[in-house]
C-alpha cells in the first residue's frame, strides 16, 4: 500500500495512528509517499542480504522493486538515526520537495513504530566510489567529456542546494559514494538533507562529524564549523579525484603520492599539473580544461574557508565563463598533516595513542566499504577534536 499524507488527514484515523504513531496535522505535507513496512519488506524479499547494495553511516541500503514495478533504493536508517516522527516527517517533506536534475529524488519514507526508512529512486550505474574512484571493478569507461560532465553536474546540484533552495542546505558529506550515476552517466548527488535527520540529543561521537575522512575541511574536522565552504572543500577533493581517477588517499603509492591534495599541490607548484590527470585517458583529454579543473580543485581546498569560491563561482569557472588567471591559490588545508604530525610523535598524550591506533587501523585507501570509511572518520576525528581542546 502506498499512500499520500493527504489521504490521512482525517483526525483520529486508525491508519494515521498506525503509520505514524502521532496525531499530525498533515494538511501541509503532500506528495510524500508513505510506505508500509510490509510493503518495503516485500519489495526487498524480506531485506535479504542478496538485495543489499550498500552500508553507510546512516544504515543499510537495499535494492527493491515496488508493486508498481519501479526500482528503488531503500535506506534503512540505523537505530542511532531515529528521531521523533514529527521532526522526521518535517525534514522528509523538505527533502522530497527539492527537485533538480543533479539530485537524487526522495520518493517517500516509512515511519512505522521504530522503523525510519527512506525510499529513493534507484540509480543504475552505482556511485563514483564503486566505478571511477574505487577498487576498479567497473566496466564503465570514463572519457574526459564524461568526467567533465560529472564535475559540472555535481557543481550544479551543490550550487542549487547552497544558493537556490530555501532554507539553504549544506550537504556535509560530499564524497564519491554520494555521487550516483544514472543509466546515461548523469551524476546525481545523494543524501542531501540527511544531516538534519540525526537528532541533536545524540552522543558526542555521532554528532561530531557527519562527513568522511579525506573530504573533511580542517575547520569542520577540528572545530566542527559547518558552512557552505566546508562543502566546497569536499567538492574540491572530489573534483581532483575525478580528474585523476584515484582516491584522495592511497597508501599503496610511494610516500610522496599517497595524498592526492599534497600531490596536486606539488605538481601545481612545479608547473606540471597535467601529470595529475588520469593516465588511463592516455593523453586523450583537453589539457587546458583539465589543468583548469585541477586549479579549481586547489582553489576549493584552500585552508582558509574565505578564500574558497562559492559553488556558483566554481560552476562558472568549470564552464570557462570566469577567468582563473587572476586567482592566486594558497596551499590546501590538510587534516592528514595534522594527524601525521601527531603520529610522528611530535605531541604526546594518551589520546594521541588512540589517534595513532585508529590511523593505523583505518583502511581508507581503495576501500569500497563505506562502513570502514565512516567509522574511521567518526572515531579518528573525534579523537583529534578532543586533543585540540
Question: Which grid coordinates are listed for 314?
Answer: 566554481
178 binds Mg ion (CB under 5 A): yes
Q: Which of 173, 191, 231, 278 is catalytic?
A: 173
* Contact positions with ligand ADP (CB under 6 A) in 105-124: 120-123
Going from the C-alpha of 170 to that of each of 79, 296, 299, 363, 382, the distances in angstroms are: 23, 20, 19, 27, 21
Closest approach, Cβ 17 to Mg ion, in A, equals 32
Closer by beta carbon to ligand ADP, 102 or else 374: 374
Q: Is 75 annotated as a binding residue?
A: yes
Return all residues near 38 (Cβ < 8 A) that are at least 6 apart: none
The residue whose grid cell reads 591506533 is 357
187 binds ligand ADP (CB under 6 A): no
The CB-nearest residue to Mg ion is: 191
Closer by beta carbon to Mg ion, 56 or else 355: 56
375 binds ligand ADP (CB under 6 A): no
Task: Calculate the CA dihedral of residues 279, 232, 328, 261 and round it to 10 degrees.
Answer: -40
Choose the one of Mg ion, ligand ADP, none that binds residue 220, judging by a C-beta under 5 to 8 angstroms depending on kind: none
Strand ordering across the sheet containing 2-4: 2-4, 33-35, 106-110, 117-121, 71-77, 59-65, 52-56
56 binds ligand ADP (CB under 6 A): yes
278 binds Mg ion (CB under 5 A): no
231 binds ligand ADP (CB under 6 A): no
Q: Which residue, 229, 133, 226, is CA-closest to 177?
A: 133
Helix axes 287-300, 144-163, angle to 10 degrees: 30
Closest approach, Cβ 362 to ligand ADP, in A, equals 15
* Contact positions with Mg ion (CB under 5 A) in 319-378: none
178 binds ligand ADP (CB under 6 A): yes
Element (H, E) at 335: helix 335-343
Task: Calculate the CA dihedral of residues 147, 150, 154, 160 and round it to 10 degrees.
Answer: 130
Size of the site for ligand ADP (CB under 6 A): 24
| SS3 category, 63 | strand
Closest approach, Cβ 165 to ligand ADP, in A, equals 19
| 96, 102, 146, 190: residue in contact with ligand ADP (rule CB under 6 A) | 190
Element (H, E) at 106: strand 106-110
Question: Which grid coordinates are listed for 167?
Answer: 532554507
| 32, 35, 43, 54: residue in contact with ligand ADP (rule CB under 6 A) | 54
Q: Which residue, 334, 321, 322, 314, is CA-closest to 258?
A: 334
102 binds ligand ADP (CB under 6 A): no
Active site residue 173: yes
Please list the active-site residues. 173
Q: Site residues (CB under 6 A) for ligand ADP?
A: 53-54, 56-58, 61, 73, 75, 104, 120-123, 126-127, 129-130, 177-178, 180, 190-191, 370, 374
**Residues marked as binding for ATP?**
75
Q: Site residues (CB under 5 A) for Mg ion?
A: 56, 178, 190-191
**Residues marked as binding?**
75
Amino acid at each position: 500500500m502506498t499512500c499520500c499524507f493527504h489521504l490521512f488527514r482525517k483526525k483520529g484515523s486508525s491508519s494515521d495512528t498506525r503509520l505514524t504513531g502521532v496525531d499530525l496535522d498533515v494538511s501541509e505535507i503532500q506528495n510524500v509517499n508513505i510506505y508500509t513496512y510490509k510493503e518495503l519488506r516485500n519489495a526487498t524479499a524480506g531485506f535479504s542480504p542478496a538485495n543489499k547494495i550498500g552500508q553507510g553511516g546512516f544504515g543499510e541500503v537495499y535494492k527493491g522493486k515496488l508493486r508498481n514495478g519501479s526500482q528503488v533504493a531503500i535506506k534503512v536508517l540505523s537505530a542511532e538515526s531515529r528521531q521523533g516522527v514529527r521532526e522526521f516527517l518535517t525534514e522528509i517533506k523538505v527533502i522530497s520537495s527539492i527537485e533538480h536534475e543533479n539530485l537524487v529524488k526522495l520518493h517517500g519514507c516509512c515511519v512505522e513504530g521504530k522503523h525510519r526508512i527512506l525510499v529513493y529512486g534507484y540509480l543504475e550505474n552505482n556511485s563514483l566510489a564503486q566505478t571511477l574512484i574505487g577498487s576498479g571493478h567497473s566496466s564503465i569507461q570514463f572519457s574526459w567529456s564524461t568526467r567533465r560532465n560529472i564535475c559540472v553536474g555535481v557543481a550544479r546540484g551543490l550550487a542549487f542546494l547552497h544558493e537556490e533552495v530555501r532554507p539553504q542546505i549544506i550537504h556535509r558529506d560530499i564524497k564519491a559514494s554520494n555521487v550516483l550515476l544514472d543509466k546515461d552517466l548523469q551524476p546525481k548527488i545523494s543524501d542531501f538533507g540527511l544531516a538534519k535527520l540525526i537528532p541533536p540529543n545524540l552522543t558526542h561521537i555521532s554528532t561530531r562529524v557527519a562527513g568522511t575522512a579525506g573530504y573533511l575541511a580542517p575547520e569542520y574536522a577540528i572545530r566542527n564549523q559547518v558552512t557552505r565552504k566546508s562543502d566546497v572543500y569536499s567538492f574540491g577533493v572530489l573534483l581532483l579525484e575525478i580528474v585523476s581517477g584515484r582516491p584522495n588517499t592511497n597508501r599503496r603509492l610511494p610516500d610522496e603520492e599517497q595524498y592526492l591534495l599534497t600531490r596536486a599541490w606539488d605538481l601545481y607548484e612545479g608547473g606540471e599539473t597535467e601529470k595529475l590527470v588520469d593516465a588511463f585517458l592516455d593523453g586523450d583529454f583537453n589539457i587546458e580544461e583539465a589543468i583548469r579543473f585541477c586549479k579549481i580543485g586547489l582553489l576549493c581546498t584552500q585552508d582558509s574557508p574565505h578564500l574558497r569560491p562559492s559553488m556558483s563561482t566554481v560552476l562558472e569557472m568549470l564552464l570557462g565563463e570566469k577567468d582563473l588567471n587572476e586567482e592566486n591559490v594558497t596551499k590546501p588545508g590538510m587534516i592528514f598533516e595534522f594527524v601525521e604530525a601527531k603520529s610522528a610523535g611530535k605531541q604526546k598524550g594518551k589520546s594521541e595513542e588512540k589517534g595513532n591506533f585508529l590511523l593505523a587501523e583505518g583502511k581508507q585507501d581503495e576501500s569500497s566499504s563505506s562502513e570502514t570509511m565512516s567509522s574511521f572518520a567518526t572515531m579518528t576525528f573525534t579523537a583529534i577534536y578532543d586533543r585540540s581542546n
